Structure 1
Amino acid sequence: MNIRETTAEDWPLIYPFFVSIVAGGETYAYPEGLTSDAARALWVPGPPTRTVAAMDGAHVLGSATMGPNRPGRGSHVATGSFMVDPGAQGRGVGRLLGSHVVDWARTAGFRGIQFNAVVETNTSAVRLWQSLGFLIVGTVPGAFRRSDGSYVGLHVMYLDLT
């Protein structure tokens, strides 16, 4: 596996698992039914955001998007979002992407990385981020509506890079 910048040719390979994950209703608050163009605008917005693909040969196993968490006076803290093709889960793709984003943010001079909305019931993601040194700095109760209509909290997670 390797990680590289996404290309226009990657989007048709990313979009199917993007749609599947969003429709699953357990990890992302994106609206369902996004067209390919609307989804691409969210996932690959362009500078100052950077989007990468985890590749196994010509197969896209996952993708991450990263950039400043906020503009202006908040631009010294990075953020990131991650999706792994459900068919590639359990192969270390998420860890590879997460480590890549941490290394990128550190090299780019960010002082920290903040994830604004990690669904508390997404325990594999929470464990992964904690294993990479992220702390849960707070939880917004009931901020995420799951596909079954129940409400769960969203963790704010942070990694200090100073």
Structure 2
Amino acid sequence: MTLIRPYLETDWPALWPILRATFEAGDTYAYAPDSTEADIHRAWIEAPSATYVAIDASGALLGTYFIKPNQPGLGAHVCNCGYVVAAAARGQGVAAAMCEHSQREAVRLGFLAMQFNLVVATNEGAIRLWRKLGFAVLATLPRAFRHRQLGLVDALVMFKTLG
């Protein structure tokens, strides 16, 4: 069973290695693979409106997500989220649970829609999941992501109206 709760600063020692491994891979997120711990803490913990963690029954960290306005001011009613699942927890429904949780939280926080700005086209599992959860592809951005292994690949903008 996956429990999702707000991030606590005491989660950071377990969370940082998961985030670091994901960003170093350079295949799903635009963060520089050599981003510092302080840079990622700012981006994942400090800048968003809220950050959450997914844990198992024993309290082990399975994944995390953040939620924030996609744009300031007059675009702040649309949120943006980022999700990371620990390598050992992939394929266990953690991403689906976090995305469903994030949609409920987004509505609770007053957001009217959710937008993913840069879904790497080679991340087929995520694209399948987001579509299954009701997100539509609004645009394909040609060669918008510099994949560490594959070079320049397309990225998708995905969107869902909430509520």
Q: TM-score, normalised by structure 1?
A: 0.95
| Residue 51 of structure 1: aligned partner | 51
CA distances 1:87-123 after superposition (whole Å, capped 9, x unpaired): 1101110001000111111222211101101001100
More displaced stretch, 71-80 vs 107-116: 107-116
Please report how far the alpha carbon of residue 13 of structure 1 lies from its aligned counterpart in structure 2 after TM superposition: 0.6
Structure 1 Cα separation of the partners of residues 89 and 150 of structure 2:
27
Aligned pairs (5 A) from 1:94-113? 94-113=95-114
Tell whether 2:35 aligns with 1:34: yes
Structure 2 Cα separation of the partners of residues 119 and 39 of structure 1:
19
Please report how far the alpha carbon of residue 58 of structure 1 lies from its aligned counterpart in structure 2 after TM superposition: 1.9
Aligned pairs (5 A) from 1:75-86? 75-86=76-87
CA distances 1:104-148 after superposition (whole Å, capped 9, x unpaired): 112222111011010011000001111110000001100001112
SS of corresponding position for 2:9? coil
| Residue 10 of structure 2: aligned partner | 9
SS of corresponding position for 2:27? coil
Structure 2 Cα separation of the partners of residues 136 and 63 of structure 1:
23
Structure 1 Cα separation of the partners of residues 152 and 59 of structure 2:
38
Corresponding letter in the other structure for 1:50: A
Structure 2 Cα separation of the partners of residues 114 and 28 of structure 1:
15
| Matched residue count | 161
CA-atom RMSD in angstroms: 1.2
| Structure 1 residue runs without a partner (length 5+) | none
Q: TM-score, normalised by structure 2?
A: 0.94
Tell whether 2:159 aligns with 1:154: no
Please report how far the alpha carbon of residue 149 of structure 1 lies from its aligned counterpart in structure 2 after TM superposition: 4.9
| Residue 19 of structure 2: aligned partner | 18
Moved over 4 A (4+): none
Structure 1 Cα separation of the partners of residues 33 and 25 of structure 2:
9
Corresponding letter in the other structure for 2:42: A
| Structure 2 residue runs without a partner (length 5+) | none
Corresponding letter in the other structure for 1:26: D
Structure 2 Cα separation of the partners of residues 129 and 148 of structure 1:
24
Structure 2 Cα separation of the partners of residues 32 and 145 of structure 1:
11
| Residue 74 of structure 2: aligned partner | 73
